[in-house]
């Protein structure tokens, strides 16, 4: 069962990647966003499951 920290990390990750892309060169920001997202984000039971949309979990959020 995911907790509030897991949902918080999934919700804030797109904003963290925006900051990375503003402060780093594009190549480094892309690599850091994928690698750090893979290492930091919680595993797939944690995620947002909206109707008629694919589940937003570790695999989909880091690729936004």
- The predicted pLDDT at position 1 comes to 59
Reading the chain (64 residues) residue by residue, the pLDDT tens digits are 578 888 888 889 889 999 999 999 999 999 999 899 888 888 777 777 778 877 777 777 777 6
Q: What is the predicted pLDDT for the residue at 6? A: 83
Distance CA 28, CA 7 (A): 26
What is the C-alpha to C-alpha distance for residues 39 and 17, in angstroms, rounded to an integer? 14
Report the candidate in 17, 42, 44 with the shortest Cα–Cα distance to residue 31: 17
Number of separate domains in the chain: 1
- 58, 42 contact by CB (below 8 A): yes
- Which range of residues forms the domain containing residue 30? 4-61
pLDDT at site 53:
74
């Amino acid at each position: 069962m995911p907790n509030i920290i897991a949902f918080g990390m999934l919700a804030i990750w797109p904003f963290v990647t925006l900051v990375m892309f503003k402060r780093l060169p594009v190549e480094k920001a892309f690599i850091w966003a994928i690698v750090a997202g893979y290492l930091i984000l919680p595993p797939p039971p944690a995620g947002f499951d909206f109707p008629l949309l694919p589940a937003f979990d570790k695999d989909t959020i880091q690729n936004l």
